[in-house]
Amino acid sequence: MTSVHCPPSLPKDFDPQAFWTLPPLLADADQRLQRLATDIATDLELLSYPSRTWDYSRHTDSLEVAIIGAGYVGKSAAFGLRRYGLSQVRIFDRCSPGQEGPWRTYARNATLRTPKDVTGGLDWGMPNLNFRRWCAACYGDEYWQQIRYIPRLLWADYLDWYGNILKLPIQYHTDIVDIHWQADEQCFWLQTMHKGMGEIQKARFIIFATGMDCAGGQYVPAIVQTSLPADCYHHTMDTIDFVAMAGQRVGIIGGGASAFDNGIMALQAGAESVDIMIRRPQLPNLNRIRWSEWNGYHRHFIDLPDGMKWAYSLAELRVGQLPPPHTYYQAITHPRLTLYTNAPVNQLNYQKGEVVGQYGELTLRHDVLICGTGFVTDLDAQPELKTLAPYIARWEDRYTPPPGDEHLAMARYPYLGKSLQFTPVSSDYAYLNRCYYLSSGAALLSGYRANLSGLQFALPRVTYDIGRQLFLDHQDEIWAAYNAYDIKEY
């Protein structure tokens, strides 16, 4: 029976406005950032052993590693590779500087969804690179102590600073459109579009850090696409003119975090009402990601037998997505927002300028609809993988779930190795072991969900494996150099 969700009472001291308030920059922030930069330079010098690296690329004109995507995963991977002595590395991103990832585009959350101390291990063990140090330099450590969640725009600023302070090699405006293995050169050829010009980049290893929305992109239910004119609905990832929603009745399908974020934006813009409709009988209130934030789980999930990985992942999908508590409370306590449960979209019509929907047993009328229906995870739909995808092993190639536990989408997820590398459907495509997948499709089944919680455990596996393979590839040349070494100590 379709019903209206009754919110629990608000936690004490909950102030919805507080989440949207950005702190003032300290008057001496520039000098403090300068001091932090000096400290980081000292740290890097102190920790520089061994400072010598092997130039594995000396016989080829290819990069050691191409990283696709300059979000926090790509940036952290580049710094991690440098820590492992690999420097022929470049990050490619199709966007312009500052526009990496969702943070300044379609993310509409006031603060991160993860607690402030979950920062993905971007510091690689160097405290001065941690978000807290940057935040303290700009806004004071008292500010950091006060907050529970990092404001989204501060997070975006920190990521810019992180890339700049480490002088990460990022090539913007470069879209990787196709990739193939060039056997005679033993490297990948990445076909790129750079400022409208086609180019080839060569690399011996690839890290896919292409984010959550890369494999298949936004999911808009077929019933929406077939029943409504395109101008009366949006997806949460679209650029949306919220100002135009002032005075309008807004309907939102789906109850994940982005659905709530967009509801809050519409309310702030003066929407007359916001209705959120979800299929489930109740809004999920169990976030097992928070439970999973402990050393053993993130470090060793990938070591579990397949059956256990499948069971955990299925359980997580069955529990469903939910907004973080602060987002939920901000939205649900708003007098103009209603959450309907048991409200699947059964029918939609566009009548006299209104979206008329049958949600469960209820008919609701809206001026505009937003689909908070998430992403598709479909490797075959990831444009730059079109040549490689047919040879990448999937779970359905390696594992048969027990009856009743089948899941079509999960069965198509890539079957990754223990360093999050693709595994090939046959040994003819063994080069796929040189591609590491830290994007959406790896979520769940490999234990890395393309978020901050597990990144610090995933990336060291990747950087170690690349270093290992390069070393082994060059063992003859290294052995020769070892034998040729003739500098006498005395």
Residues near ligand FAD (CB under 6 A) are 68-74, 92-95, 100-102, 107, 109, 112-114, 175-176, 209-212, 214, 258, 384, 450-453
Look at residue 101 and give its three-state secondary structure.
Answer: coil
What's the CA gap between 355 and 344, in Å, rounded?
A: 15
- DSSP type of residue 282: S
Amino acid at 248: Q
Q: Which residue number, 164 or 349, has a Cβ lying nearer to ligand FAD?
A: 164
Q: CA nearest 68: which of 266, 205, 206, 264?
A: 206
Task: Tell me the closest approach of the beta carbon of residue 189 to ligand FAD, in angstroms.
Answer: 14
Nearer to ligand FAD, 201 or 273 (CB): 201
What gap in Å lies between CA 337 and CA 268, rounded to an integer? 11
DSSP string for 205-251: EEEE---TTSSS-B---HHHHHHS-GGGEEETTS---GGGGTT-EEE
Nearer to ligand FAD, 220 or 450 (CB): 450
User: What is the nearest approach in angstroms of ligand FAD to the Cβ of residue 103?
Assistant: 7
Q: Mention every residue, 6+ apart, whose C-beta is less than 8 A from residue 89.
A: 63, 64, 65, 66, 67, 78, 81, 82, 169
Nearer of residues 128 and 321 to ligand FAD, judged by Cβ? 321
Q: Which two tokens stand for residue 400?
A: 């048969």
**Closer residue to ligand FAD (CB): 278 or 450:** 450
CB of 324 to ligand FAD, least distance (A): 8
Please identify, using beta-carbon distances, which residue of 192 and 341 lies nearer to ligand FAD: 192
Q: Which is nearer to ligand FAD, 89 or 450 (CB)?
A: 450
Sole residue written with tokens 């809206």: 366
CB 229 within 8 A of CB 254: no
Q: CB of residue 412 vs ligand FAD: minimum separation in angstroms?
A: 19
Residues 55, 108: Cα–Cα separation, whole Å:
43
Q: How far is the CB of 146 from ligand FAD (least distance, A)?
A: 18
Nearer to ligand FAD, 254 or 360 (CB): 254
Q: Which is nearer to ligand FAD, 273 or 327 (CB)?
A: 327
CB of 451 to ligand FAD, least distance (A): 3
Q: Residue 351 has which token pair?
A: 């009548």
Burial (CB < 10 A; 0-12, 13-18, 19+), residue 472, is exposed
> For 257, left (φ over 0), alpha (ψ -120 to 50), or beta?
alpha
Cβ 107 to ligand FAD, closest distance in Å?
4
- 59-96 burial, b at 16+ Cβ within 10 Å, e below that, comes to eeebbbbbbbbbbbbbbbbbbbbbbbbbbbbbbbbbbe
Nearest distance in Å: CB 320, ligand FAD: 16
Token pair, residue 89, equals: 């590395």
Alpha-carbon span 122 to 48, nearest angstrom: 18
Instruction: CB nearer to ligand FAD: give 140 or 256.
Output: 256
Taking every pair of Cα atoms in the chain, the longest distance, rounded to a whole number of angstroms, is 93
Least distance CB 73 / ligand FAD (angstroms)? 3
Q: Which is nearer to ligand FAD, 95 or 147 (CB)?
A: 95
Closest CA relative to residue 447, chosen from 419, 489, 477, 487? 419
At its nearest, how many Å lie between ligand FAD and the CB of residue 55?
A: 26
The secondary element (H helix, E strand) that includes residue 172 is none
Strand partners, 83: none
Nearest distance from C-beta of residue 448 to ligand FAD, angstroms: 10
